[in-house]
Amino acid sequence: MLLLEQGDLAGATSSASTKLIHGGLRYLEYYEFRLVREALSEREILLKAAPHLVRPLRFVLPHHAGLRPWWMIRAGLFLYDHLGGRKLLSPTRTLDLAHDPALKPGFGRGFEYSDCSVDDARLVVLTVRDAALKGADIRTRTRCEAARPVDGMWSLTLGDGREERARVLVNAAGPWVSQVLSSVVVQDAPTRVRMVKGSHIVTRRLFEGDRAFIFQNADGRVCFAIPYQQDFTLIGTTDEEYTGDPRGVAISPTEETYLLTAVNDYLRTQVTAADIVWRYAGVRPLRDDGASKAQEATRDYVLELSGTPPVLSVFGGKITTYRRLAEAAMDRLAPFIPGLPGPWTAHATLPGGDFPWDGIDALTQDLLSRHQSLTPATARRLVHAYGTLASNVPGGTDLGAGLTEGEVDWLVRNEYARGVEDIVWRRTKLGLRLTAAETDRLARHLAH
């Protein structure tokens, strides 16, 4: 297998999510029962496949009088608890929020339910690393400039001037899926793509505890406020129509105001633009199902197989169901690849994930006992990033925030990192902590 990535792994949409593995509670309103069931069942599969990256998270949903009635929410949560075969995650419970220290006075009834958080970019990187360990040829920063049929196979012209041959193509280009079909493969796109922008902000920590909040907004959308990287709060997302170049996507002042207003309507601690430490946005390439509003567009995926030799194009999807999407893709391609094994990933682990799903604390303590020079915060970060491989990550000179030269070298050798952005925003989230001087020091080390 050959994987071609025009930029860095998870360099676009995949690293711009809300960092959740979730069923999508609000999708029940649009009768997306199959999608929600599939996503709910994936939570515990991914929790066991990558317990260092995927973690259980409890969500508090305050009831807001005048919006969705409480009985409708409770009915939806009953379905949420039972659709996906939940075994490990805790069930929904009703709360009295009258004295909740995080919320403004005036809220009473609320609900608490389970989903999971995830390090989205690392999930992509470790999936690719796992493929490489199984023999895949991974080439980042390599564009496929052209693909043409030759003697029943695809002849590929790469951006570095090399030529490759392939029996089948999988076009998983995200926001560029239609562009790849039209300009690289030279075929008409059978499915229309609807570009929807989702933006997020990260602020200083706004409330104590390890629970997240999901807030209802008057326009029918919801907004998450999630504990993030120990000292911060992640707030998102928006749903805006987008028509520009996906490379230039950025949060708008209107979206920023929308997110600030959404959390300030609920939280006791008020937040302003001055509290924002990071902003990011991504473009979701959704299948255009004709929905009147962006937030109503389906998050389900469509696989379109066309041409001879075949090309399989992926439209839509969400990170929670990426494994099931991959299985469905391989099922469609099986007639063209003799000897292909059946589905096997439901019981597999990603690199570093070979430990019990609830064993993260024990693994952190073990790392601290082996490497007594580590601080507890750095040990916890390393275990959440590398799992059982954390002890293999070398140390050395500290470049800042516990990031060592040895870890940077590991990321370059093993995880396809090349630039500062790759390391501080995708392989780690230390861009939230590093100073400008420390970032410059990292850049000098990479150049060396």
Cβ proximity of 207 and 233 under 8 Å: yes
Predicted confidence at residue 291, as pLDDT, reads: 60
Predicted confidence at residue 294, as pLDDT, reads: 58
- pLDDT tens digits along 116-139: 999 999 999 999 999 999 999 999
pLDDT at 338 over 80: yes
- pLDDT tens digits along 49-91: 999 999 999 999 999 888 888 899 999 999 999 999 999 999 9
Phi-psi map region of 192: left, alpha, beta (phi>0 left; psi -120 to 50 alpha): beta
Which among 44, 45, 67 has a CA at the least distance from the CA of 56? 44
- Reported as a pLDDT band with limits 50, 70 and 90, residue 226 is very high
Between the ranges 23-37, 60-74, 336-350, where is the mean pLDDT highest? 336-350
* Among 2-11, 279-288, 295-304, 371-380, the least confident range: 295-304
User: What is the rounded CA–CA span in Å between residue 5 and residue 206?
Assistant: 37
pLDDT at 220 over 90: no
The domain ranges of the chain are: 360-447
Burial class (CB in 10 A: 0-12, 13-18, 19+), 95: middle
pLDDT at 104 over 70: yes
Q: What is the mean pLDDT of residues 127-152?
A: 97
Cβ neighbour number for residue 122 with a 10 Å cutoff: 26
- pLDDT tens digits along 303-332: 999 989 999 999 988 999 999 999 999 999
Cβ proximity of 345 and 323 under 8 Å: yes
pLDDT at 193 over 90: no
Predicted confidence at residue 30, as pLDDT, reads: 80
Mean pLDDT of the chain: 94
Which residues, 6 or more positions from 66, have their beta carbon under 8 angstroms from its beta carbon?
none
Predicted confidence at residue 287, as pLDDT, reads: 77
pTM greater than 0.85 (yes/no):
yes
